[in-house]
Amino acid sequence: MDDYEKDIERIQRMLEECDNPSEPDDDSEGESDLVEEDEVVSDFDCHETDSDDLQDEPPKKVPRCGGWLGKDKNTWWQEKVPKTASRTQPHNIIRERPGPKGLALNAKTPIDFWGLFISPEIIDLLVQKTNIVIQEKRLNYKQSTKARDSDITEMKAFLGLVLLAGIYHSNRMNLDDLWNPDGTGVEIFRLTMSLHRFRFLLCCLRFDDKATRLARREFDKLAPIRELFSIFVENCLKNYTPSAFVTIDEMLIAFRGKCPF
């Protein structure tokens, strides 16, 4: 009976301690902290939040602010893009209908589209500048026929083989493997031109006059390709109009030289 009375007294003391707000125990402190943190979440600010107790919860939408709390519990993603006070610059306003235009509307085959961007002006430029280098190298050959000038037809064939090398994912392969006659090579390469001629054109290919390059490089870092680049950009502007939303992807290309820009 004495043990029963002692248990009753101990339970009464515990109840009195729980009812007394001036002496909270550890459990009551934890509950008060949780209440405070819940209040912070309910009064959520659109820019920052204290969300230590939300680590295991998925991002949730807060209707009052119109957005979502990010996975890092700190970033707030707004549902609507905020309006800016500044006006759109005139050069950023597209006033034309997006899509093909001009001669591109009548193009039907891949060759037609290719000719719109790599126009005859570009092919003539490549032939002209490449022949300047060929004439210089011809002095090193006993037979001038091995270093003959190129023409428009051969330059188109050369560019086609370069594109095919990329299509076949063989741009890093040895050229001997592409021209191999034992059946492991690509037949179209051997039928288009000889391996010696392809290497010769690849060595002589130029986009400008090397004699005047140093003077042009003083004020133009794109001097070696400026003329070809300008023609290509003009062809793009004449044949296609981009929309207001354009994604520009990036790609790293293997290059052995120095790039000043």
Element (H, E) at 68: strand 67-69
Q: Which residues of 63-88 are buried (b: 16+ CB within 10 A; e: fewer)?
A: eeeebbbeeeeeebeeeeeeeeeeee
For all residues of the chain together, what is the average pLDDT? 79
Q: Write down the pLDDT at residue 31.
A: 45
pLDDT tens profile 197-209? 999 999 999 999 9
Q: Is 16 exposed, middle or buried (0-12, 13-18, 19+ CB in 10 A)?
A: exposed
pLDDT at 36: 43
Of the candidates 155, 192, 187, 186, the one whose C-alpha atom is nearest the C-alpha of residue 173 is: 186
Q: Delimit the domains of the chain by residue range.
A: 101-241
- Cβ atoms of 126 and 207 within 8 Å: the answer is yes
**What separation in angstroms does the CA of 9 have from each of 13, 17, 25, 104?**
6, 12, 19, 96
Q: Given this model, what pLDDT does residue 38 score?
A: 42
Give the sign of the dihedral formed by CA 163, CA 168, CA 174, CA 177: negative
* Residue 159 burial class via C-beta count within 10 angstroms: exposed 0-12, middle 13-18, buried 19 and up: middle
User: For the chain (length 261 residues), average pLDDT per consecutive 10?
Assistant: 74 72 47 42 44 51 67 84 76 83 91 93 95 90 83 94 87 84 86 93 92 90 92 94 82 76 64
pLDDT at position 60, please?
52
